[in-house]
């Protein structure tokens, strides 16, 4: 493997080239630092390697085996984890929402979970920066949270039939809805074209109208001098006798390499980040790196993501257009008239045929098989769909740990244990009722409820107290000052909306911190 920095000690090595890793690579390399980025998956070319094919593009997700456990074991893979340069941004829907002020103070406001050590105001300038940098398209007025617009680019147009149905149902019930803020271009930007509504956002955007760090931040990082290496599985973070990180080891095509660095940043996402920290245990850190608190891998969260399908008399054609084009956050905040705290976002969410079939076979009311499955699939064009992004409260028993089973690299596989709490279940029931009501108000007959989850957060949470957290508010580990964690694993709560914007805003904030403290960090 031909290497630019082979044998050299660099300023920064970043593990993972997804939403956070891409931002960090660009920001730090443009600041003049020598940067190496390692990703376990391939470095793909959208025009050459993407296809409008649901089955083949499953490979954009992390398909390696993980052990699942708990009362509500998660389905792992394409739906909640990316693998390859660009990470999950390569195959996400492009929904780009900000967290609300209440998300950072759930303990203070609602008496649940914990408060973040930062507030919305700390991230607001970084939300602005990221949204401008990738030209987020959005409505003229966004009625929820602290940011009401305008977005850098105008909202997407035209809407899909499913989005029209959703907005019609919301209007009938007095529920506010908007065209969804999206990291998808509504007009040309830099060298990228506007969206033409191909609808295969989850399979990778071949025209590059949808943002990903693969096509935006990584090329800029490389132009600034960073070295980005795909198919490189990092197996261990190395430390010295002083307890500082000195670099990482990684495997590429069966051969082991070492990359020395003055600063190590782990941005490998919610399962692989704790797994790497735990797998890097040594005599000085017998319980894993950055784990003196015992919180590495603890209190990770997902989003509840139940789908409701309703059958209409007229064709909806769920494959048409960008998957998510209309949303509401009218149920985002805690309300005294509900039997749960916190809340959720609802999206009009399209579905390709294979995804539709896979979902309905897992229907929570009556799983659909055999002749009924065939009949349902023949009526595919007549179904509309609404999906939820529901907040799940942190629970220390929901954990990422190491199993006894080994993977192809000889490393213990991740064991992912998850169970909903009663508040989570009540929230889900309320959301399913609202989704059903919206579809019914639009003229549909709700028939199918599919239990699902999406997005992972937590497991290396931030905090001011080293006894109850893994990192500080900048992602700097309490135990090892030149080891950072920066991805969704540092979230304290999950919020009720899609997390990518917050992940990238945190990464931009961490990059500014590293640049300002470079001397102290011995860079």
Assigned token pair, 97: 């929402």
The tens-digit pLDDT sequence of the chain (523 residues) is 778 888 899 999 999 999 999 999 999 999 999 999 999 999 999 999 998 888 888 888 888 999 999 999 999 987 888 999 999 999 999 999 999 999 999 999 999 999 999 999 999 999 999 999 999 999 999 999 999 999 999 999 999 999 999 999 999 999 999 999 999 999 999 999 999 998 999 999 999 999 999 999 999 999 999 999 999 999 999 999 999 999 999 999 999 999 999 999 999 999 999 999 999 999 999 999 999 999 999 999 999 999 999 999 999 999 999 999 999 999 999 999 999 999 999 999 999 999 999 999 999 877 899 999 999 999 999 999 999 999 999 999 999 999 999 999 999 999 999 999 999 999 999 999 999 999 999 999 999 999 999 999 999 999 999 999 999 999 999 999 999 999 999 999 999 999 999 999 999 999 999 999 876 555 5
Question: What is the helix (H) or strand (E) element at residue 428, kind and residue range?
Answer: helix 422-441
* pLDDT confidence of residue 519: 62
**Residue whose entry in the numeric block shows the structure tokens 């054609």:** 317
DSSP notation for 29-54: HHTT--EEEE-SS----HHHH--S-T
Classify 370 as helix, strand or coil. Answer: helix
φ/ψ of 410, rounded to 5, equals: 80, 15
Q: Among 444, 497, 468, 172, which Cα is nearest to 332's?
A: 497
Q: Among 348, 347, 350, which Cα is nearest to 332's?
A: 347
CA–CA distance, 281 with 401 (Å, rounded to integer) = 13
The predicted-structure confidence for 390-419, as pLDDT tens digits, reads as follows 999 999 999 999 999 999 999 999 999 999
Confidence (pTM): 0.97
The predicted-structure confidence for 23-53, as pLDDT tens digits, reads as follows 999 999 999 999 999 999 999 999 999 988 8
Q: Among 389, 435, 426, which Cα is nearest to 175's?
A: 435
Strands 255-266 and 483-485: parallel
Question: What is the helix (H) or strand (E) element at residue 299, kind and residue range?
Answer: strand 298-304
Question: What is the helix (H) or strand (E) element at residue 238, kind and residue range?
Answer: strand 233-239
* pLDDT confidence of residue 320: 94
CA–CA distance, 14 with 37 (Å, rounded to integer) = 5
Chain-centroid distance of CA 156 in Å reads 22
Classify 233 as helix, strand or coil. Answer: strand
Length of the chain: 523
Q: Among 220, 137, 218, 216, which Cα is nearest to 179's?
A: 137
Q: Among 421, 435, 307, 434, which Cα is nearest to 365's?
A: 307
Question: What is the helix (H) or strand (E) element at residue 10, kind and residue range?
Answer: strand 9-15
Residue 511 near residue 131, CB atoms below 8 Å:
no
**Which residue blocks in 305-420 are alpha helix, DSSP H?**
353-360, 370-378
Strands 9-15 and 445-450: unpaired
* pLDDT confidence of residue 91: 93
Strands 383-390 and 307-311: antiparallel
In angstroms, the first-to-last Cα distance of the chain is 27
Buried b (16+ CB within 10 A) or exposed e, 171-197: eeeebebbbbbbbbbbeebeebebbeb
């Amino acid at each position: 493997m031909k290497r630019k920095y082979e044998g050299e000690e660099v300023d920064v090595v970043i593990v993972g080239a997804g939403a956070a890793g891409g931002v960090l690579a660009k920001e730090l390399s443009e600041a003049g630092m020598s940067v190496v980025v390692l990703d376990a998956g391939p470095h793909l070319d959208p025009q050459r390697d993407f296809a409008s094919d649901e089955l083949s593009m499953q490979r954009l997700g992390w398909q390696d085996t993980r052990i699942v456990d708990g009362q509500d074991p998660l389905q792992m893979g394409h739906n909640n984890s990316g693998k390859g340069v660009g990470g999950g941004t390569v195959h996400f829907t492009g929904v780009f929402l900000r967290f609300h002020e209440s998300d950072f103070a759930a303990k203070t406001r609602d008496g649940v979970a914990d408060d973040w050590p930062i507030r919305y105001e700390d991230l607001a300038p970084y939300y602005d920066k990221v949204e401008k940098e990738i030209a987020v398209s959005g409505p003229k007025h966004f009625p929820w949270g602290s940011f009401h617009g305008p977005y850098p680019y105008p909202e997407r147009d035209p809407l899909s039939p499913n989005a029209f149905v959703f907005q019609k149902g919301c209007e009938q019930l007095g529920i506010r809805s908007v065209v969804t803020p999206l990291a998808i271009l509504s007009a040309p930007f830099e060298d990228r074209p506007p969206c033409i509504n191909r609808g295969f956002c989850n399979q990778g955007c071949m025209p590059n109208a949808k943002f990903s760090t693969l096509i935006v931040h990584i090329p800029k990082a490389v132009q600034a001098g960073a070295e980005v290496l795909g198919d490189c599985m990092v197996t261990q973070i190395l430390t010295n006798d002083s307890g500082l990180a000195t670099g990482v080891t990684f495997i590429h095509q069966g051969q082991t390499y070492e990359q020395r660095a003055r600063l190590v940043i782990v941005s490998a996402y919610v399962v692989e980040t704790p797994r790497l920290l735990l797998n890097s245990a040594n005599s000085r850190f017998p319980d894993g790196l950055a784990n003196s608190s015992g919180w590495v891998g603890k209190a990770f969260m997902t989003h509840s993501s139940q789908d409701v399908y309703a059958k209409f008399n007229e064709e909806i054609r769920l494959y048409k257009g960008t998957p998510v084009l209309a949303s509401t956050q009218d149920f985002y905040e805690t309300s005294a008239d509900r039997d749960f705290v916190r809340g959720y976002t609802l999206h009009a969410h399209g579905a390709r045929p294979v995804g539709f079939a896979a979902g309905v076979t897992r229907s929570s009311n009556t799983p659909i098989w055999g002749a009924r499955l065939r009949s349902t699939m023949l009526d595919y064009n007549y179904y509309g769909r609404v999906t939820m992004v529901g907040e799940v409260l942190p629970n220390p028993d929901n954990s990422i740990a190491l199993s006894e089973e080994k993977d192809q690299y000889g490393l213990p596989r991740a064991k992912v244990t998850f169970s909903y709490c009663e508040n989570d279940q009540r929230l889900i029931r309320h959301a399913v009722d609202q989704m059903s009501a919206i579809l019914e108000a639009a003229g549909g007959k709700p028939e199918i409820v599919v239990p699902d989850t999406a997005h992972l957060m937590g497991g290396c949470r931030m905090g001011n107290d080293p006894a109850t957290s893994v990192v500080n508010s900048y992602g700097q580990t309490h135990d090892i000052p030149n080891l950072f964690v920066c991805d969704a694993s540092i979230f304290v709560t999950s919020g009720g909306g899609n997390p990518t914007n917050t992940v990238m805003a945190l990464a931009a904030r961490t990059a500014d911190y590293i640049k300002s403290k470079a001397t102290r960090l011995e860079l």
